[in-house]
Amino acid sequence: MTTHVAITPAFAELVDLWAPVRQIGTGFEFTEGPIWHPKEQHLLFSDMPGDVRRRWDRSGIREVMRPANKCNGMTYDADLNLIVCEHATSTLVRERPDGRRDILASHFDGRELNSPNDVVVKSDGSIYFSDPWYGRMPVYGVERPRQLGFQGVYRIAPGGGPPQLVVERTLFEQPNGLCFSPDESLLYINDTAQHVIRVFEVGPQGTLAQGRIFASGIVSATEPGVPDGMKCDAKGNVWVCGPGGVWVYAPDGRLIGKIRIPELVGNLTWGGPDFHTLFLTATHSVYAVETKVGPRNEPYMRRDAAPRAVSVQPAASVARNGTQKAAPGYVLDPARCAVIVQDMQNDVVMDGGAFAASGSPAHCREQNAIGNAARLAAAARRLGVPVIHVWFVVEPGCPGVTMNAPLFEGLADARAMVRGTWGAAPVPGLEPEPGDHVVEKCRMSAWEGTRLETVLKALGRDIVVVTGAWTNMSIEHTARTGADKGYYMIVPEDCCSTMNAEWHTASVNYALQNVAVVTDADALLSAWG
């Protein structure tokens, strides 16, 4: 099972189906309005209930405005002025870099707007925005009566002026996200209450015509999520918030795939140096996923250069041993990672060890698991990534080890991994170095009855790279439990081994794919930069 869901094969051309979902910040009330600054290389996002705007860059997250008028959708115009939808004031404003603030729209037909929600800028400088009434509700806005009797979508002409209603008054219940097609001939607008996306032809004067349902049924009885923020990619696919994450539609309206996110997603935007990082604002967190496709070329992205094209990688690769792995090209932040070297002890994988007759030494050599794990650990230390050695160690006679499973019975019968013996010692090449951590266990999982999680929390690490032996036992158990605990688990399969290739491949393809990103040492080293 992949991280993300391909409903048609075309989806694998847009994103690696095993692409990690990185949490770049959490602890918020409800995040919204993400927008990437193309020159300063930072992300702005809002927290409406908290009434604060924040900024994220490689140095971390900080507040930039409090109160923030419970702002929602944001974008830039071609001059990199920030265009902001404000719930608390029912206005659409322009914030200039020098601090000046211009009100672009606040009323229609002499009545206050409901609460501008999302906004997009066309190449000619005109601005389109949606106006549901969420900002007149408690929590996400300021509770107060509505002055308009409908929820509309508006256009502001390139030179400014009063907002022009561009849809029929009764067409939408709660218009929300909106985005242009790459050539700006179409405008997509979704309706949160109706669970649909509508598409309109854009006329020469900016009017909308020939409206029709583009997609419907964006709702689920089992997963939270409704149509909300929405963006169009460079190929014309429409990415919209929906149940379980983000739903992606081809230009012909076919649902082709889903990005899976662990929280309800409210909005999304592309950013990063090449606009191939998809940032997602969710209930309490902000996430990022690397994609193979970038956004349609918005006006604010054109000040320097258009987002560069990248070659399409295969959705996954298949190793010589038959294991399926995530395609290379993903990115991992070393500051969030830790590497576990598990059960790489003489009794487990070395000739002459207690379990040598199982075939484990031969498979370890076939995988070059010791060499690959050592190479990975050395790189981790250079990058400041903690290396944690997890050893299965028992006292003579195995006191305290319950004989409730064949593995533990075999351990006692073989007198294996006894403290102080050669068999319990780490294999040559994977001995702990200064600064490494050592965790001892008496079960298959590295988590069970150990201090592993205490170490990870103390170090602030939530991406756990698992190496060692055996793939279908300790590695699999550790990856499963780590995923259950909320950690992002990474398994470089060529740094792992078991008794034979068949068992290794079965564990990777039928178990680990469900709970971890399966990769290899080279791809992981590249992901660390």
Give the whole-angstrom CA distance, residue 414 versus residue 423. Answer: 11
Structure tokens at 96: 């200039």
Task: Kindly report the number of other CB atoms within 10 A of residue 153's CB atom.
Answer: 27
- Average of per-residue pLDDT values in the chain: 92
**pLDDT for residue 407 is more than 80:** no
Give the whole-angstrom CA distance, residue 170 versus residue 148. Answer: 12
Question: What Rg value do the Cα atoms of the chain yield, rounded?
Answer: 27
CB-based contacts of 233: which residues, under 8 Å, 6+ apart? 14, 239, 270, 291, 293, 294, 295, 296
Strand partners, 277: 271, 290
The mean per-residue pLDDT over the stretch 302-320 comes to: 43
Q: What is the pLDDT of residue 410?
A: 74
The mean per-residue pLDDT over the stretch 472-478 comes to: 95
Q: Is 117 part of any known ligand binding site?
A: yes
Strand partners, 497: 469
Task: Kindly report the number of other CB atoms within 10 A of residue 124's CB atom.
Answer: 11
Structure tokens at 245: 């994450």
Handedness of CA 467, 468, 473, 474 (dihedral sign): negative
- What would the pLDDT profile of 64-114 be if each residue is shown by its tens digit? 999 999 999 999 999 999 999 999 999 999 999 998 999 999 999 999 999
Cα–Cα distances in angstroms (integers) from residue 323 to residues 333, 481, 508, in the given order: 25, 21, 6
Cβ–Cβ < 8 Å for 232, 238: yes
Q: Is 39 exposed, middle or buried (0-12, 13-18, 19+ CB in 10 A)?
A: exposed
Q: Within 13 Å, how many C-alpha atoms sit on residue 39's CB side?
A: 10
Q: What is the pLDDT of residue 329?
A: 66
- What would the pLDDT profile of 59-71 be if each residue is shown by its tens digit? 899 999 999 999 9
- What would the pLDDT profile of 356-394 be if each residue is shown by its tens digit? 999 999 999 999 999 999 999 999 999 999 999 999 998
The mean per-residue pLDDT over the stretch 220-236 comes to: 96
Task: Kindly report the number of other CB atoms within 10 A of residue 496's CB atom.
Answer: 31
Catalytic residue among 131, 228, 343, 347: 228
pTM given for the model: 0.62
Structure tokens at 287: 């996430």
Q: Is 69 part of any known ligand binding site?
A: no
| Closest listed residue to residue 128, CA positions, set 171, 179, 89 | 179
The mean per-residue pLDDT over the stretch 138-155 comes to: 94
**pLDDT for residue 231 is more than 80:** yes
Cβ–Cβ < 8 Å for 507, 471: yes
Torsions phi, psi for 266 (to 5 deg): -105, -25
Secondary structure letter of residue 112 according to DSSP = E
Q: What is the pLDDT of residue 312?
A: 32
Cβ–Cβ < 8 Å for 114, 144: no
The mean per-residue pLDDT over the stretch 218-246 comes to: 96
Cβ–Cβ < 8 Å for 121, 66: no
Report the first-to-last Cα separation within the chain, whole angstroms.
Answer: 27
Structure tokens at 164: 């022009």
**pLDDT for residue 317 is more than 50:** no
| 98 a catalytic residue | no
Cα–Cα distances in angstroms (integers) from residue 270 to residues 129, 235, 486, in the given order: 19, 14, 25
- Buried b / exposed e over 257-295, threshold 16 CB at 10 Å, is bbbbbebbbbbbbbbbeebbbbbbbbbebbbbbbbbbbb
- Strands 277-282 and 265-271 turn out to be antiparallel
List, edge to edge, every strand of the sheet that includes 60-65.
Answer: 31-37, 42-47, 52-57, 60-65
Q: What is the pLDDT of residue 302?
A: 76
Q: Kindly report the CA angle at 121 between 37 and 33, in degrees rounded to 5?
A: 50
The mean per-residue pLDDT over the stretch 411-427 comes to: 89
Strand partners, 289: 278
Identify the band that residue 330 occupies on the pLDDT scale cut at 50, 70 and 90: confident
Q: What is the pLDDT of residue 417?
A: 81
Q: What is the pLDDT of residue 414?
A: 80
